[in-house]
């Protein structure tokens, strides 16, 4: 009799544990830290806040367009195009530059879909949908993640091949 009661208790505990695992509410991902050989924590470098897509960057003395582009991790040509600049890309201190919105993000070490979404102001579920990713949304270093354009659509739209017309000869 005692043995049967113990089995029921174990069964109920197991059922409670399994039901807790079924909770699929979205959560923030775990923080990623990298340890250095000296035992300290290495910080993942981040872009300055004024480099966020769509925001303005104020040119400082000594800045060049290519330095700003490198610092903000955007292509020099994209930065120039977003600001209507032509070669030789003359900029002056105090000038405000609009940061272009990238169309593709290349996954770097320590990133996940949630963090990428935060960087571009896009919900991670939208990124997952655009990139055909499913839970647990696993991505790899170097993987290209498509970003929606300003209108919210896919940026790398697939163009269907032209339709071919087939004619069937009619009997005479």
Number of domains in the chain: 2
| Predicted confidence (pLDDT) per residue in 125-149, tens digit | 999 998 999 999 999 999 999 887 5
- Say whether both 91 and 113 belong to one domain: no
Q: Coil, helix or strand for 115?
A: helix
For residue 127, give the nearest of 138, 111, 116, 143 by alpha carbon: 116
Cα–Cα distance between 131 and 90 in angstroms, integer? 37
Tokens of 26: 């979205």
Give the DSSP H or E segment for 145: strand 144-146
93 three-class SS: coil
pLDDT in the model for residue 77: 87
Residue 30: burial class (beta carbons within 10 Å; 0-12, 13-18, 19+)? exposed
- Residue 141 CB partners (closer than 8 Å, separation 6+): 107, 108, 109
Mean pLDDT across 71-86: 87
Distance CA 40, CA 49 (A): 25
Does residue 54 form part of some domain? yes
Residue 120: band (very low, low, confident or very high) from pLDDT cuts 50, 70, 90: confident
For residue 116, being part of any structural domain is answered with yes
Average pLDDT over residues 154-170: 42
Residues 107 and 85 in one domain: no
- 87 and 109 share one domain: no
Q: Which domain holds residue 86?
A: 49-100
Q: Which of 71, 141, 77 is nearest to 106 (CA)?
A: 141
Tell me whether the omega of the peptide bond preceding residue 88 falls within 30 degrees of 0, making it cis: yes
Give me the pLDDT at residue 32, please.
52
Residue 63 lies in a domain: yes
pLDDT digits (tens, 9 = 90+) for 44-54: 444 444 677 77
Any domain includes 9: no
Assess if residue 81 is contained within a domain: yes
Q: Is the pLDDT of residue 73 over 70?
A: yes
């Amino acid at each position: 009799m005692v043995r049967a009661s113990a089995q029921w208790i174990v069964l109920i505990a197991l059922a409670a544990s399994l039901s807790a695992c079924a909770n699929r509410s979205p959560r923030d991902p775990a923080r990623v830290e990298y340890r250095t050989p000296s035992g300290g924590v290495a910080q993942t470098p981040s872009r300055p806040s004024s480099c966020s897509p769509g925001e303005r960057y104020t040119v400082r003395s000594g800045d060049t367009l290519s330095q700003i582009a490198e610092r903000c991790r955007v292509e020099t040509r994209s930065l120039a195009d977003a600001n209507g600049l032509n070669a030789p890309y003359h900029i002056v201190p105090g000038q405000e530059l609009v940061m272009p919105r990238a169309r593709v993000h290349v996954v770097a070490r320590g990133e996940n879909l949630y963090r990428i979404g935060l960087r571009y102001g896009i919900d991670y579920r939208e990124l997952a949908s655009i990139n055909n990713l499913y839970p647990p949304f696993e991505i790899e270093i170097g993987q290209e993640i498509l970003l929606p354009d300003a209108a919210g659509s896919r940026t790398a739209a697939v163009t269907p091949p032209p339709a071919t017309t087939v004619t069937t000869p009619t009997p005479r």
